[in-house]
Amino acid sequence: MRRLTPALVLGTAGFLVLSACSPALPEVHVDPPPAEPPVMLTVEQDTSILTAIGETLTAASETLDPAALQVRLSGPALALRTAEFTVASSTGNADAITEIPTEVQSEVLPTTQTWPRTTFAASVRPQNLQTDRLLVTEQAAPRDQYKLWGWIRLFPGVTLPAFPATDIGTEAVPPDDASLALTPADAIAHYADVLTNGDASPYAAEFASDPLREQMAAQREKRSASATEIEGTYSLQFSPVDGALQTLRTSDGGALVVGELSSTETLQGEESAKISPSPTEQAFLGGATASNSLTVGRTGLVGIYIPPAGGETGLSVLGSEILITSASIP
């Protein structure tokens, strides 16, 4: 918004100097009007944003053109959807593209007066009867559109924590917020270590078992056994993506954080071994010939509820999304 600041005009091209000894005119200082606080996002506006995101998702899925996503997707959401388009184009089958309903059951709106700004929304159940999604949107700057930054599939039976009503709104939480049982940045980092090291992680006791943790443990066990059969090695490493966090305050003073993870998985056998990539992995290999080694990269998102410091409950992993987004053969 343009602000007009009153000013005193001291002269023009036609001004006549009357005397070199004339007293100087007094300076006039006018205080600028107080800045108005940013207008809070309304439910109606958020609904309109989600509808536009849904329209973009639908239109882009018809062409499988990642460029069509950029108007309404950003960050890990853009990376995940682009990867899905890559696989669909390679296999000729779009059935695996994640269904993301943008009709929602509830919304969490920000009171944040700086940018970026974040919203959460719990979707209705997808038509394929998978679990509800938690949608995360972000407005990077005042004149930017809100974009879908990420989504997670809520785990079966999960109940989201309570948030303030939409007409009140809630605040963003800094990555290093010390009012919580664990800072948002540490919560994501600790969980990444648990996914990497399983029950051997020093942070294993901080988190109850959940579907993603069980899936990664089973995958590690199965592929470690495969590595033994081919006299090779296997590694699986998860790491938090620096700064890729979206966090809002819950009604009890805790927080819900959605953070991005990156994963690298490598299976390598003896020199004569041959590791056959899956159709999904082949989509990222560009026709490379199979060899005795395969490295797969994944992009993941995880949602964690963090109670306030001194709270009676522990951390809870609420949902996740993880997809293959790269592959290579050395």
Rounded mean pLDDT, 124-153? 96
Residue 10 vs residue 147, higher pLDDT: 147
Nearest C-alpha neighbor of 71 from the set 79, 60, 62:
60
pLDDT tier, 29 (very low <50, low <70, confident <90, very high otherwise) = low
Q: Quick one: tokens of 190?
A: 């600790």
- pTM score of the predicted model: 0.88
What is the spatial distance between Cα 170 and Cα 109, in angstroms, rounded to a whole number? 6
What is the spatial distance between Cα 61 and Cα 84, in angstroms, rounded to a whole number? 10
**Amino acid 7: pLDDT:** 38
Q: Quick one: tokens of 267?
A: 């299976």
Residue 23 vs residue 148, higher pLDDT: 148
How many whole angstroms from its chain centre is CA 175?
A: 14
pLDDT at 219 over 50: yes
59-100, pLDDT tens digit by residue? 999 999 999 999 999 999 999 999 999 999 999 999 999 999
pLDDT at 30 over 60: no
CA angle 80, 115, 190 (to 5 degrees): 55
Single-letter code of the amino acid located at 269: G
Rounded mean pLDDT, 112-131? 95
Residue 210 vs residue 4, higher pLDDT: 210
Q: Quick one: tokens of 27?
A: 């300076």
Q: Which of 35-44, 130-139, 215-224 has the lowest mean pLDDT?
A: 35-44
Rounded mean pLDDT, 288-302? 96
Single-letter code of the amino acid located at 60: A
226-257, pLDDT tens digit by residue? 999 999 999 999 999 999 999 999 999 999 99
What is the spatial distance between Cα 219 and Cα 228, in angstroms, rounded to a whole number? 14
